[in-house]
Amino acid sequence: MVLNGHIGRRLLNVRETAQYLGLEVDTIYKKARLRELPCVKVGRALRFDIKALERFVEQHTIETID
């Protein structure tokens, strides 16, 4: 499986997620805490599924008016 340019890598850390979405790290923590952004807890660390992030972006995309 090749995801995000890495073989077998499906979960991103907070910093990688912030880069992926173009947001600040603090914003990622806030959205995860408010359950606005899907995340996985691995011990005490937050991880973000790249496929769930892609769905999140698709669901929150505002279509243009033709």
Model confidence pLDDT, tens digit, residues 15-61: 999 999 999 999 999 999 999 999 999 999 999 999 999 999 999 99
The better pLDDT of the pair 29, 1 is held by: 29
Number of domains in the chain: 1
What is the rounded distance in angstroms from the CA atom of residue 40 to the CA atom of residue 42? Answer: 6
**What 8-state DSSP symbol labels residue 41?**
E
- Per-residue pLDDT at 4: 56
Residue 28 belongs to some domain of the structure: yes
Residue 47 belongs to some domain of the structure: yes
Q: Which helix (H) or strand (E) holds 38?
A: none
- Per-residue pLDDT at 5: 57
Residue 41 belongs to some domain of the structure: yes
Q: Tell me the pLDDT band of 9, cut-offs 50, 70 and 90.
A: confident
Residue 66 belongs to some domain of the structure: no
- Per-residue pLDDT at 29: 97
Residues 6+ apart with CB under 8 A from 47: 11, 12, 13, 39, 40, 41
